[in-house]
Chain A
Amino acid sequence: MKRFYLYLVLTVAGITFIYPFLWMIAASLKPEIEIGSLGLWSKNFSLESYRLVVQKIPIWRALFNSLFVSSCVTVSVIFFGSIVGYALSRLNFWGRNLILGVILFTMVIPFQITLIPMYILMVKFSWVDTYLSLIVPGMITAFSILLFRQFFLDIPQDLIDAARIDGCNDLTILFRIIWPISKPVIITVGIITFMTSWNDVLWPLIVIRNEKLMTMPQLVTIFAVGGQAEAQLGAMLAAATLLAIPIILVYAFFQRYFIESMATSGLKG
């Protein structure tokens, strides 16, 4: 009996989390007048709302922009993060702990304080309305360096010494010896970075004004807020669904990695 209640509570809670998403997908397929209903099924399902979205905003271009920006950022964060993480964990040099201290310090600075000066920097670099403003500031993160460093600290020195005797330099050691055994941390950093970049809206809203360069969440936001949707609920929900689908698809396949990565980053950050 006790188990029954346990499952009942979990199922009810589970429905509260799944149902809104199902409702959104269903509503995006329904004609406008049927949206205000509880049920998921309609006899009049059509792609009309999606046709409207595609016709009014360059959503495919935005999808490409988001994929491009998030991929560049992720590859770069893994590349540079591991290089710096390697230096800070496996090489001895004066000032190493100072750099580490600086990194820890930067992690506690609230972004509210640097946001406006960062925007002005983008204006001065003439990076406003270019991909550069979306990619370059995110190319290396304090958090990725710390995760890589933590992981690299536990690698046995013998492995590195052996490689050095074979004539490897530090970069070859990192990419040939250490990377292949560091898949868990690379996956964690990759997932967190990609997701953060993909879901970011505030920064794109600030530095991108040209519709062709907007990221997907930004374009959908402007579509919903700026009146292009003309209060067509179906179109707004269709745009939101299109925005949700890529990340949900990836999540469906890698949910375990997502959850574990977010948990580690939450605990360490």
Chain B
Amino acid sequence: MLAYVKQKIKKSDKIGYLMSLPYLVSFALFVAFPLGFSFILIFHKWNVITPMRWVGLKNFYRLFHDVEFFRAIYNTVVFLIIHIPLQIVFALVIAVLLNQKIKLRGFFRAVFFMPVIVSGVVITILWQQLYAYETGVLNLILTQLGLPKIPWINDPSWAMPSIAIMATWKNVGLYIVLFLVGLQNIPKYLYESAELDGATAWQKFWYITVPSLNSTMVLVVILSTIGGFSLFIEPFVMTGGGPMNSTLSAMLYIYNQAFYFGHMGYAATLGFFFAFIIFIVVLIQKRVVERK
């Protein structure tokens, strides 16, 4: 075996190894080491300053009894249940409209895409003002329409949905563009033959357009899920995780445990479990959406 490898290496282009070196170094330092070290950390209690202390499975025990950990998962689920359908419906509708023969398509596309490129910090500070209870623009509009004000970010049952709406506004442009790419790849003859068979516009949409966009849907669902578990700056700036932990996100909780309380071992355990959950959820989603 070793001789075989030696033989192979001898015949190899040595420059190839040299040129791959930057990646290998970066991989060893910033991927392999952190991964390995996280396996050590999850069995320890450590605040970086004093020496590490072995605690065995105590971090796991704590995690399974940690109300806030489950709260963070629950909040993420609330976020995703609102965010994903909103995102898909809006992106799909706008993409289908933009796919018609219209003037200014590029302009509209650029407008919808703008929040995607702007920092989440800007978007959050801006929406914090739009959501303000007394003076916020959204409640001003509601009042002028004769509707009651909504406690967007002041009420525990509204806060996470409000963040989900804001996140949809920020990201939907990217998905509009992805759906547009998908729409342009659907062969025209599918629609033409459906028209010959007398299909209505709705039938064409439901039986041709939607199934053809399946791979884009998978992508939207997966990217949104990862986004949901990575949600940090929005609750950090807007609500600090409140009111009553209703916007405590997975990432915010890890951050607080590590950098507010100095529980590095426990924070690593949380990171480990959230990563595991993301992995499982994404795998399941892939299966389910692809089958449809």
Contact = CB atoms under 8 A, between A and B. Distances in A.
B178 A263 contact: yes
Interface stretch (B57-65, B152-160, B186-194, B229-237): B229-237
B34 A121 contact: yes
Nearest to B15: A170
B23 A80 contact: yes
B81 interface: no
Contacts of A259: 109-110, 113, 177
Interface string A234-249: 0011011101100110
10 contacts: A7-B102, A17-B115, A93-B13, A110-B229, A112-B230, A113-B38, A225-B237, A237-B129, A243-B119, A267-B181
A240 B106 contact: no
B35 A35 contact: no
A139 interface: yes
Contacts, number: 254
Contacts of B120: 199, 201
A195 interface: yes
**Interface core residue of B23, B118, B181 (most chain A CB under 10 Å):** B23
A243 B117 contact: no
Please classify how large the interface on chain B is, using the bins under 10, 10 to 19, 20 to 34, 35 or more. Answer: 35 or more
Interface of A: 3, 6-7, 9-10, 13-14, 16-18, 20-21, 23-24, 27, 35-38, 80, 83-84, 86-88, 91-96, 99, 102-103, 106, 108-121, 123, 137, 139-140, 145, 169-170, 195, 198-199, 201-202, 205-206, 217, 220-221, 224-225, 233, 236-237, 239-241, 243-244, 247-248, 251, 255-256, 258-259, 262-263, 266-267
Contacts of A99: 20, 23-24
A103 B232 CA distance: 26
Given A6-B100, A10-B97, A91 B109 contact: no
B119 A116 contact: no
A249 to B, nearest CB: 11
Given A91-B19, A96-B20, 7 more contacts: A18-B114, A21-B118, A83-B19, A91-B15, A239-B125, A248-B114, A262-B117
Contacts of B233: 201-202, 221
Interface string B1-17: 00001001101111111
